[in-house]
Chains A and B, each alone.
Chain A
């Protein structure tokens, strides 16, 4: 398919890899922010083709993974109510709440529906005026504009039985939190390309300057990742730290102004808890007062939430890049996609799921060899 196939070309990948090998002289630790990039990297074995000096640390950019347990539990409670049709993206279905997930709520009789777009949920609300339709609005700066537009439409078309359970998050404050952490090893960022398609580059020069880290906006195909790494390593080797755009076909410096204006109108910035990480100041969006009547948290008073995370799940460390998925004792044993302990094992963007899908056989080989030797 156009804009995909040509960015997977093996001959061009070899040229990029050769160039990276020829410029690197020292060890460097780069973080790819977005979980979609993590999946490309692990699926194509890009980390194994790079020079051993280049380490890729997987970032927290998996919206499903960082949605706080308290919000998941609220969603489960609301979805269980008989008057509610609860609409969600498919990858939320199996994210574990305290003791259950949306899939189990549906099995127990809850009206949980998977939609492709938030506008589908709005249509369901129009078709079911006697029911309350709630859409689970999670995600980064990519998903926030579609959800904002849907709430805007709900108000414009006067659809009173629609509401949004909001848990939106923003990338730049997460970069700040990672750099402020005492255990931070990250020396450069591959920024999430599609977030920048919406938001542009404006938020990043100040971060690059303050933390003296290169920030290279990077796409999602294998050649995009390699080019992001190449430009980042080149900056690191030269001692530079600027914002660079390695995904020009989809990212303009100004982003998408119409989407930004809608975000400004419908949402307001708020502190937000990230699952496994904790509260990051000003890292989220909630509905602005003008749209509060469409906020599911106000419409449904949910009380008595008592959240409990499994003690053996170390997804918080994975999300902060402090631990690789297979270094967790539960990985592939007590924690699998079938029985996930944490959200990182569920999502199509979770790092644990990527390692399980594409690498679990390789990862078990060394331990087999070790036991043969013994």
Chain B
């Protein structure tokens, strides 16, 4: 029930003085009340809960988050311990007394 889900606004109309939208949830279409997000536009996505749009989904922020995730491993590859990475890649244990010099770390 708490499971609010993202949906895309297909069209908007006033009904009995209430702002309503038709919203597409990946194929399932529902009537949704826009009174709490009156400036939501056709084509935008919102978090919808029990027939009410509660918050607009921000595409730019979603993109940034995914980019951040994608870059996580990059930093590890760039600045991580190369012995550890090589051991992981080969599937064998790290050789004894293998140390990474300061130069290699930098």
Binding site for B on A (CB under 8 A): 1-4, 6-7, 9, 12, 14-16, 18-19, 22, 34-36, 61-64, 89, 91, 116-120, 139-140, 142-143, 145-146, 149, 153, 157, 192, 194, 197-198, 220, 223, 227, 248-252, 255-256, 258-259, 262, 347-349
Partner of A140, one of B2, B57, B80: B2
- Alpha-carbon distance A36/B49, docked complex (angstroms): 13
A12 lies within 8 A of B66 (CB): yes
B36 lies within 8 A of A149 (CB): yes
Residues of chain A within 8 A of B30, CB atoms compared: 116
Q: In angstroms, how far is the closest chain A Cβ from the Cβ of B82?
A: 14
Residues of chain A within 8 A of B55, CB atoms compared: 194, 197-198, 250-252, 255-256
- Alpha-carbon distance A70/B6, docked complex (angstroms): 34
A119 lies within 8 A of B33 (CB): yes
Size category of the B interface is 35 or more
Tally of contacts, chain A with chain B, CB under 8 A:
137
Binding site for A on B (CB under 8 A): 1-6, 8, 16, 18, 25-26, 30-31, 33, 35-38, 45, 47, 49-52, 54-55, 57-59, 61-62, 64-66, 69-70, 72-73, 76, 80
B62 lies within 8 A of A149 (CB): no
- Alpha-carbon distance A286/B94, docked complex (angstroms): 62
Q: Which 7 A-B pairs have the closest CB atoms?
A: A117-B51, A1-B26, A197-B55, A249-B62, A3-B6, A15-B73, A146-B52
- Alpha-carbon distance A63/B4, docked complex (angstroms): 13
- Alpha-carbon distance A145/B52, docked complex (angstroms): 9
- Alpha-carbon distance A256/B4, docked complex (angstroms): 15
